[in-house]
Amino acid sequence: MKEVILQKFAEVFGDAEDVQVYFAPGRVNMIGEHTDYNGGHVFPCALTIGTYGAVRKRRDRKLRFYSMNFEQLGVLESSLDELKPDPKADWTNYPKGVMWAFEERGMQVPAGMDILLNGNIPNGSGLSSSASVEVLTGYMLRDLFGFEVSNQDLALIGQYSENHFNGVNCGIMDQFAIAMGKKDNAIFLDTAAMEFEYAPIRLEGAKLVIACSNKKRGLGDSKYNERRSECETALAQLQQVIGIETLGDLNEEQFELYKGAIKDEVCQKRARHAVYENRRTVRAVEALKQNDIEAFGRLMNESHISLRDDYEVTGEELDTLVEEAWKVDGVIGSRMTGAGFGGCTVSIVKDEAIDAFREKVGQAYLKKIGYAADFYAVQIGDGPVKL
């Protein structure tokens, strides 16, 4: 891939002298969905698919961007002196947002750049192509200009840029999973305390299979921010009757005891998901530590049902993929992953069942939805690297 990127860089920008090449992964969340902004636990892992970036410093303040995924847009030009969101230059708002966030932290980017990106994460799939670009950009800036920031800082900078530059009220999970990824491990992260541990995922005789619904969705214009607001309303009302800082502070029994404080039925359902999903995630990691992959799979299934019924972020496409997966022998667990409203499912599938899984789920999906889903057997990889 490095040679392909350098060749394209030379074609687009004239030559490939003094060009550095980097990679940042995508991520999939195994369980713990919509808990990261509710002070709960999440359990994501970095993938071996992600975003490649080639970059070269310039002698002026100009920024030139090119994406091999959006070649029809050509070279998009900007400047370090005008770091503001541009609706016409959609994808460049992610790298520009990170440069802006570095400067907000007092780290002035001293020179312009030519930047070429190529991602092999499906666009709009919910595997965090935007967070991958953010972490990649931060990693490149650190390496090129010697900024003293840790990988954990890169995650926080990426989240800050997405919240305040791109206007998407995302939690920390995506950027953290990408910046802190470790091969064959998922990250058990307490988003309230920012404490984490690596937990090995041993899938003897099974693989992770991502099914991409191919229903496009944009986080900013989806109901993502609405769900956050509903949870904030529920939390404020619960705080009138119990001393908590986040929904993640509650266990199931406490929620059932105090849920009457939440006046709106919809907000009550949203809060129930946040509380129960958080406890499910804790139990899922315990099951994994005991090498009980079947229990982990059952908790994945329960997670999807809660996201479907209480959080209402699945939709016909994701429900079809999951419900058809549950019918296939050899599927240990399956659920939607990511923000929802389209995007992907993640399933643990026994090796001997993967072909049948693709065929049966794929056929049923095409018949019901009218267009095809894509399937990827993926591996758990490391965080960002210089190639």
Active-site residue identified among 36, 174, 310, 319: 174
Report phi then psi at 199, rounded to 5: -125, 120
Distance between CA atoms of residues 182 and 199, nearest Å? 10
Q: Find out whether 293 and 348 touch, Cβ atoms under 8 Å.
A: yes
As beta bridge partners, residue 376 has: 210
**Rounded Cα distance, 257 and 263, in Å:** 14
Tokens matching residue 4: 């392909």
First to last CA, the chain: 10
- Residues with Cβ within 8 Å of residue 56, at least 6 apart in sequence: 9, 13, 17, 18, 19, 20, 113, 114
Distance between CA atoms of residues 230 and 121, nearest Å: 30
Characterize the bridge pairing of strands 20-29 and 385-386.
Answer: antiparallel
Nearest alpha carbon to residue 247 among 265, 226, 269, 263: 269
Residue of 348, 273, 374, 286 lying closest to 314 (CA atoms) = 273
174 included as an active-site residue: yes
Residues acting as catalytic residues: 174
